Amino acid sequence: MEAQISGLPVLGTSSGGIPEAISDGQTGFVVPPRDVAALAQKISLLKEDKNLYQAMSQQAGVFVRENFSWEKNIDQHLNLYQK
């Protein structure tokens, strides 16, 4: 999330909470664990397609601010406590 809030597209694997923190195809890519070919393909795609890189860069910060802000986090916790 730190990379995304700084405007960087990210790559991660589909394990744990990583898929929740990346909007696949919008702010970066989620690839299967241990799939080196898929990872290399996504890295090459971001390197070669400057328009895609820029679009993902712009969307990355927005995604994190909208989905993982302190305000949203606090509201979610308060809602859980109130239930």
Pick from 83, 67, 44, 68: which is nearest to 29 by CA? 44
Quote the pLDDT of residue 70: 83
Domain boundaries, given as residue ranges, for the chain: 2-82
CATH fold label, 2-82: Rossmann fold (3.40.50)
Give dist(CA 51, CA 37) in Å, integer: 22
Q: Where are the beta strands (DSSP E) in the chain?
A: 10-13, 28-31
CA torsion sign for 32, 36, 37, 42 is positive
Q: What is the pLDDT along the chain (83 residues), one digit of tens a residue?
A: 999 999 999 999 999 999 999 999 999 999 999 999 999 999 999 999 999 999 999 999 999 999 998 888 888 889 999 99
The model carries a pTM of 0.85
